[in-house]
Chains A and B, each alone.
Chain A
Amino acid sequence: MKRLISLTRLILLISLFHHITISLFAEDWIVPPDKAEKTAPFVFSKESVEKGAELFVKNCQSCHGDPTRGNFAKLDPTPEDPASEKFKELTDGEMFYKITNGRGTMPQFKMILSEDDRWDLISYIRSFHSGYIQPEPELTSMTGAGERASMTILFDSLSKMVTISVYTVKNDMKSPVKGAEVLFFVKRYFGNLSLGDAVRTNEEGIISYPFPDGIAGDSTGQLTLIAQLNESSGYGNAKKAILVPLGVPTEWISLTAPRAMWNINFKAPVWLILSYSLTVLGVLLALVYIMLQIRKIFYLGSAVDDAKSDKP
């Protein structure tokens, strides 16, 4: 019985391993059907191609080379030329999935490029595929969703309130967007500080944002507040920043100002400078003393010689 169990385990293990190797290293990179059907949320245009070209140089060119020239990097599996037939055969959704998730040496761009950026990239790649016809842009079920909304941000210095207004423009008509999610951040040295969960717009497409207490600002309390549409709510990713005096006035001491072990030579800790210099000085003085003693031996010897030569 025991033997049977261990045999079953072994078979299971082998099949599992087989499965893993197949799914990891198989030539084909299979995209789930629902993802493969995904389409862009906007119509590819000259602008989107131009934007995509710029993104391609920064993010893709080092491995995929210049499209149509086949000068991609020699990696295994080969990155291939984006203008090639292999790329042309992919659906937009498949391409989006692969850029988003990556695999093996192909990096994941989920956190690096926004969804719009990724679609711009695809529109650039498609510009090399003759005979490509873009499928109808995908529209979500929400009213107005799929359109790229715009945003204004205002600060009223009397009431100390930040007001966000989200709207779409069609035929020069502004219509407010209800239920759009807006994320708030404060600009910091390294990246942005998130101020918590997204806030939804009301019926009029407006958010009266209660800025939280206790956020550090500059010496006068100024800080940069950033509001950004949450892309997943389907209205694009419009972003606005505003300088507001809502922070706690804070004196920022430069990280490199105080003396520290990791600072430059002239800002070394005093105890270190003292102990190093005094130790070196002490040892050197001792050595100089020894040298002088050797000189003294010489003089003493000379004195003996002189005494001898004085005596007849």
Chain B
Amino acid sequence: MQNSYDQVALDLFRPVRLNRSHLIWLGILTIALFLCLYAYSIQLREGLGVAGVRDYVSWGMYISNFVFFVASSLIGMLISAVLGLIGMKWIRPLTRIAEIIALAFAAVAGLVIISDMGRPERLPYLFLHGRIQSPILWDVTVVTTYVLISALLLYLPLIPDLAIGKKILNKPKFLVKLYEILSVKWRGTKAQWEIIHRSMRILLILIIPVALAIHTVTSWLFASTPRVGWNSTIFGPYFVSGAFVAGIACVIIAMYFFRKNYHLEKYITELHFNNMAKLLVLVSLVYLYFNINEFLVPGYKLEHGDAIHLKDIFIGHNAGLFWFAQLFGIIIPIILLLFRQMRKPFPMLILAILIFFASWIKRYIIVVPTQEHPFLPIQHVPANFLIYKPTLIEIAITLASFILVLMIITVLSKLFPVIPVWEMQEEFELKEKGNQS
């Protein structure tokens, strides 16, 4: 009995070390990041003109990417809070992965916004001169809060693990020291456990409205304007349901890689993939429902502006992207995941990668095409102002944000066990007790 209990800790702490392949991977990411930061230095020097955004399409790739990042970060709330609070036991090994993804995307989302500023040094003006009536101020507030809560939600259940890890790990030295400090003298007393449980419950309840707010307010950045394609009363739930689809895709990709590279097959089983697939179908169906509402209702009435916008994305020059997003982001996964064979790890990895891309493109479709049809007639501007084309510099800066997310996930998943150790130990204990009786 003692043996398997310790074995759990040994298994889960095995990947926590610095090895060469890991350092090479981080090195590659760092070099790529610096190349992309060079692109940003050009933008900083020359101004936003080096990006494809112009007078008419002023929200381009950066803002689409921001929406995608906020969306992906919502998964932390769904996995840890919603499923955790309703007592889904199978989800426990996935909670930390979801939290790491949530924290990484939410933290970088703020930077993505700054990349869309021509004069980033004026960021403090947002707080000095911001209007409390502006959804942009609400968004900044709520994203910051979400990053804080996500960090705490990652940290709190980590405290007992840190105390366990301190005993198991003997190198590297700095890591042992880090564990010592971060474990805040965890001795596993009853009083300490009570604090952890109570604080976790508070945070898990708190994160639900905050996470809903973060993406609803992000949707209001669009929906509070009268622009065709944004002027929608269901934008909040439309964004939130879409966020869960994107977030689950992220978690599935991460699950696959951690399972494979960290040899966690015993802890992240095919059952987990199977359950995540069902969860994915559920949220995709909800998202599909909102999509039908979002497009069918204006499509039925075809008011002047809607007619132009819908024609553009249904059969116009944005149709390819739109149908790719809708088919690979929602419809095909729903159909394929009905089959048991598709709910196996590898097919799900492929589907998740497709959904991930499709979700990104969906955000682009939401943000960009409507701006190509301004309310005022276009006069005295070059024709290329009308159609948005992202530049290489813009793409590089956007890639930088993804590299940053990967770096954060890599570092966190190397410094700490990606599966909550004490929760797994608890599960094993219960299982063995069950076997004995």
Question: Residues on A close to B: CB < 8 A?
Answer: 261-265, 268-269, 272-273, 276, 280, 283, 286-287, 289-290, 293-298, 300-302, 304-305
Pick out which of these stretches binds chain A: B34-42, B69-77, B170-178, B191-199.
B191-199
Q: Are B132 and A276 in contact (CB under 8 A)?
A: yes
Q: Which residues of A contact B202 (CB under 8 A)?
A: 286, 289-290
22 contacts between A and B (CB under 8 A): A265-B131, A265-B132, A268-B133, A269-B133, A272-B132, A276-B138, A280-B145, A287-B145, A287-B149, A290-B202, A293-B198, A294-B184, A294-B199, A297-B184, A297-B186, A298-B185, A300-B191, A300-B195, A301-B185, A301-B189, A302-B185, A304-B189
Is B350 in contact with chain A by the CB < 8 A criterion?
no
Distance A262 CA – B156 CA, assembled complex (angstroms): 42
- A293 with B187: in contact, given A268-B132, A276-B138, A300-B192 (CB under 8 Å)? no
A180 to B345, CA, bound (A): 90
Interface: B391 (CB within 8 A): no
Residue numbers in A under 8 Å from B195 (CB-CB): 293, 296-297, 300
B220 CB to closest chain A CB, in angstroms? 13
CA distance A1 to B210 in the complex (A): 70
Of all chain A residues, which has the CB nearest B131?
A265
Closest to A62 in B: B380
Known contacts A283-B210, A290-B152, A290-B203, A297 near B192 by CB under 8 Å: yes
Q: Is B233 positioned at the interface, with any CB of A under 8 Å from its CB?
A: no
Of the residues B131, B187, B199, contact of A290 by C-beta under 8 Å: B199
User: B130 on the interface (CB 8 Å rule)?
Assistant: yes
Q: Which residue of A lies closest to B198 (CB)?
A: A293
Known: A265-B130, A293-B198, A300-B191. A283 touches B185 (CB 8 A): no
**Could you tell me the distance between the alpha carbons of A280 and B142 in the complex, rounded to whole angstroms?**
9
B residues 140-154 in Cβ contact with A at 8 Å: 141, 145, 148-149, 152
Contacts of B192 in A (CB 8 A): 297, 300-301
Residues of B contacting A283 with CB < 8 Å? 145, 149, 206, 210
**CB within 8 Å for A301 and B132 given contacts A289-B202, A293-B198, A296-B195:** no
B159 at the A/B interface (Cβ < 8 Å)?
yes
Compute how far the CA of A308 lies from the CA of B58 in the bound complex, rounded to whole angstroms: 65
Across-interface contacts of A273 in B (CB, < 8 A): 132
Whether A262 contacts B159 by the Cβ 8 Å rule is no
Interface residues on chain B, number (Cβ under 8 Å): 28
Q: Which residues of A contact B145 (CB under 8 A)?
A: 280, 283, 287
Give the nearest-CB partner of A263 in chain B: B133
Best-buried of A269, A289, A293, A295 by chain B (most CB within 10 Å): A293
Bound-complex Cα distance A294 to B192 (A): 9
B148: nearest residue on chain A (CB-CB)?
Answer: A287
- Please, how many angstroms separate the alpha-carbon atoms of A175 and B130 in the complex? 65
Interchain CB contact under 8 A, B185 and A305: yes
Q: Which residue of A lies closest to B186 (CB)?
A: A301
Task: State in angstroms the CA–CA spacing of A293 and B186 once bound together.
Answer: 12
Q: B159: which A residues are within 8 A, CB to CB?
A: 294, 297
Residue of B nearest to A283 (CB): B145
Can you add 10 more A-B contacts, CB < 8 Å, to A297-B184, A301-B184, A304-B185?
Answer: A265-B133, A283-B145, A287-B148, A290-B203, A294-B199, A296-B195, A297-B159, A298-B185, A300-B185, A301-B189
Q: Which residue of A lies closest to B130 (CB)?
A: A265
A272 touching B133, Cβ below 8 Å: yes
Chain B 272-296 near chain A by CB (<8 Å), digits 1 or 0:
0000000000000000000000000
Q: Give, as a whole number of angstroms, the nearest-CB distance from B210 to chain A.
A: 7
Could you say which residues of chain A place their CB within 8 Å of the CB of B132? Answer: 265, 268, 272-273, 276
Check B206 against A305 for contact (C-beta < 8 Å).
Answer: no
Chain B residues in 8 Å Cβ range of A295: 184
A119 to B226, CA, bound (A): 43
Name the A residues within 8 Å of B196 (CB-CB): 297
The docked-state distance in angstroms from the alpha carbon of A304 to that of B183 is: 14
Min distance, Cβ B212 to any Cβ of chain A, angstroms? 13
- The smallest C-beta distance from B107 to any residue of chain A, in angstroms, reads 16
Question: Complex: how many Å from CA A239 to CA B78?
Answer: 71
- Whose C-beta in chain A lies nearest to the C-beta of B200? A290
In the bound complex, CA of A263 to CA of B131 (Å):
9
Output the least CB separation between A43 and chain B (Å): 37
Cα A273 to Cα B199 in complex, Å, equals 29
A287:B130 contact, CB within 8 angstroms: no
Q: How far is the CA of A265 from the CA of B125 in the complex (A)?
A: 13
| CB <8 Å contact, B187 and A286 | no
Q: Considering the chains assembled together, what is the distance between the CA atoms of A181 and B81 in angstroms?
A: 77
> Out of B141, B156, B187, B210, which one reaches A305, CB within 8 Å?
B187
Q: Which of B187, B203, B206 has the most CB of A within 10 A?
A: B187
